[in-house]
């Protein structure tokens, strides 16, 4: 979403959403009215067969306005090779729909028409070319979807005013307990609205041949709506869809989402890197964020995204420069979960991209050394089942994030110094006096009982 000034306020919004759910009347967890089968749109293209398993995804977030000088679909299509070379296999596009102007602030998250393409970015043909280009490179494409609210000039406002939440005076209102004044709150107690929303979501699977969705502000709408939505999407047997809830509610897993959003773990980065708290702060978050997840459902981990980049600053600003930003990304991408890269962070940007994302363009190629480090890390992750989705065992020290990942006969040891000074790490007996292979630099490494890690350094060792 937007306007949220930090990850901690974002978590607060999830709590406040309880009030929103109350205002939306009851949540029919099991809708007694069967969902009618709408007329299926004509399928554009051939459903992509290369969608990764959800636990093997590496997600790349594209903010169209900042991504290229043209700020359009064509600018993304032109750099698909670079996204592929980075090591991502899923491209997530921020909202592509026309933006409302009534009470508007030029936010992509104020959707005027769920079934159209924003002419600012191009045409449906341009979007299809992007998706086709991604598929030809082995990349899946996810669209951003805003289900909780619409712009004030969305046609639903006049055609179906009963689909919106009203205040005591009978007026349609903005989402309660938020500062989202540019949008109107939908009423999820309305079965017709739910069906229309689900039909709109599904239409893009056919008309643009996309491979999934990232659902904005997923902790706002009730869980029952998401269960209905996910079940309907899973019933499209021709497509393997990846579904990401931008929320922290553990019930999102029971609704059937592949992913929850790691906003609390991002808050953990703040605690460890900026407030000097011990690395053990991560342990509880790893457990808490996975409550309710089955064997392969994942949490998306990140060091920046479109919300916090503008409000909090770039990873380089937050985590102590290039070395600190990279050490944080090592934890985000290897510790547990699925990594997400926000466009520009792999270019080592020091300038944030503030809302509404129109004032800054990414300076590609400015720091090739940073880009090389991202590529190297993601390449070894892609070659290692243990790093991708192995079982994690913590060996953390106050200043060192240390863990092993194990899958089958492969074991990987990751060591990350989270401080801007050298530190000593006491190697646990279970890991010492053994020979490992350095996955990043090559060669053999025999660990003694004690080792020195330079400031913000990291090691990835395999055996």
Upper half-sphere CA count for residue 425 (Cβ side, 13 Å)? 33
Cis bond upstream, residue 383 (ω within 30): no
Q: CA-CA distances (angstroms) from residue 259 to 149, 187, 224, 230, 246?
A: 21, 25, 17, 12, 8
pLDDT in the model for residue 39: 72
Range 55-60 average pLDDT: 98
pTM above 0.85, yes or no: yes
Tokens of residue 71, six digits: 């700020």
Helix orientation angle between 368-382 and 321-334, rounded to the nearest 10 degrees: 20
List CB contacts of 94: < 8 A, sequence separation 6 or more. Answer: 61, 62, 63, 64, 108, 144, 306
Evaluated on CA atoms 291, 292, 296, 299, the torsion sign reads negative
Using an 8 Å Cβ cutoff, are 344 and 306 in contact?
no
Exposure string (b/e) for 353-379, b if CB count within 10 Å is 16 or more?
A: bebbbeebbbebeebeebbebbeebbe
pLDDT digits (tens, 9 = 90+) for 324-383: 999 999 999 999 999 999 999 999 999 999 999 999 999 999 999 999 999 999 999 999
In this prediction, residue 36 has a pLDDT band, given cuts at 50, 70 and 90, of low
What percent of the chain has pLDDT above 70? Answer: 92
pLDDT digits (tens, 9 = 90+) for 401-431: 999 999 999 999 999 999 999 999 999 999 9
- The answer to whether residue 396 scores a pLDDT higher than 50 is yes
pLDDT in the model for residue 16: 35
Using an 8 Å Cβ cutoff, are 422 and 394 in contact?
no
CA distance 85 to 397: 34
Using an 8 Å Cβ cutoff, are 141 and 211 in contact?
yes
In this prediction, residue 24 has a pLDDT band, given cuts at 50, 70 and 90, of very low
- The answer to whether residue 2 scores a pLDDT higher than 60 is no
Upper half-sphere CA count for residue 358 (Cβ side, 13 Å)? 7
pLDDT digits (tens, 9 = 90+) for 71-99: 999 999 999 999 999 999 999 999 999 99
pLDDT digits (tens, 9 = 90+) for 285-315: 999 999 999 989 999 999 999 999 999 999 9
Using an 8 Å Cβ cutoff, are 103 and 181 in contact?
yes
In this prediction, residue 41 has a pLDDT band, given cuts at 50, 70 and 90, of confident
In this prediction, residue 461 has a pLDDT band, given cuts at 50, 70 and 90, of very high
Structure-model confidence comparison of residues 20 and 369, the more confident one: 369
pLDDT digits (tens, 9 = 90+) for 241-267: 999 999 999 999 999 999 999 999 999
């Amino acid at each position: 979403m937007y306007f949220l000034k930090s990850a901690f306020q974002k978590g607060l919004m999830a709590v406040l959403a309880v009030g929103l759910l109350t205002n939306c009347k009851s949540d029919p967890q099991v809708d007694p009215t069967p969902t009618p089968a709408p007329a299926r749109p004509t399928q554009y293209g051939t459903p992509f067969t290369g969608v990764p398993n959800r636990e093997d995804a590496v997600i790349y977030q594209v903010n169209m306005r900042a991504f290229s000088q043209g700020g359009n679909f064509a600018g993304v299509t032109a750099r698909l090779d670079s996204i592929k070379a980075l090591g991502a296999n899923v491209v997530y596009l921020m909202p592509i729909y026309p933006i409302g102007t009534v009470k508007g602030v030029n936010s992509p998250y104020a959707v005027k028409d769920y079934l159209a393409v924003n002419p600012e970015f191009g045409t449906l043909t341009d979007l299809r070319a992007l998706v086709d280009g991604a598929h030809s490179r082995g990349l899946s494409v996810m669209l951003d979807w805003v289900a909780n609210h619409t712009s004030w000039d969305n046609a639903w406002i006049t055609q179906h005013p009963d689909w919106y939440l009203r205040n005591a005076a009978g007026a349609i209102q903005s989402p309660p307990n938020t500062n989202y004044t540019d949008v109107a709150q939908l009423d999820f107690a309305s079965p017709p609205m739910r069906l229309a929303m689900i039909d709109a979501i599904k239409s893009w699977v056919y008309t643009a041949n996309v491979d999934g969705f990232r659902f904005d502000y997923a902790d706002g709408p009730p869980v029952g709506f998401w269960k209905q939505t996910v079940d309907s999407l899973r019933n499209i047997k021709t497509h393997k869809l990846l579904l990401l809830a931008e929320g922290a509610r553990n019930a999102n897993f029971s609704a059937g989402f592949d992913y929850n959003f790691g906003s609390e773990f991002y808050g953990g980065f703040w605690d460890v890197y900026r407030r000097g708290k011990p690395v053990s702060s991560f342990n509880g978050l790893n457990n808490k964020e996975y409550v309710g997840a089955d064997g392969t459902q994942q949490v998306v981990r990140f060091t920046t995204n479109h919300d916090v980049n503008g409000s909090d600053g770039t990873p380089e600003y937050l985590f102590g420069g290039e070395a600190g930003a990279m050490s944080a990304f090592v934890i985000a991408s290897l510790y547990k979960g699925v990594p997400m890269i926000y466009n520009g962070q792999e270019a080592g940007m020091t300038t944030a991209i503030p809302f509404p994302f129109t004032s800054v363009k990414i300076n590609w190629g400015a720091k090739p050394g940073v880009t090389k480090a991202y590529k190297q890390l993601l390449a070894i992750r892609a070659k290692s089942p243990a790093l991708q989705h192995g079982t994690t065992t913590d060996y953390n020290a106050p200043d060192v994030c240390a863990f092993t990942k194990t899958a089958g006969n492969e074991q990987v040891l990751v060591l990350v110094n989270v401080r801007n000074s050298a530190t000593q790490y006491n190697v646990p007996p279970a890991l010492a006096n053994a020979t490992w292979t350095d996955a990043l630099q090559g060669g053999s490494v025999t660990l003694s009982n004690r080792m020195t890690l330079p400031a913000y350094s990291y090691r990835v060792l395999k055996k």
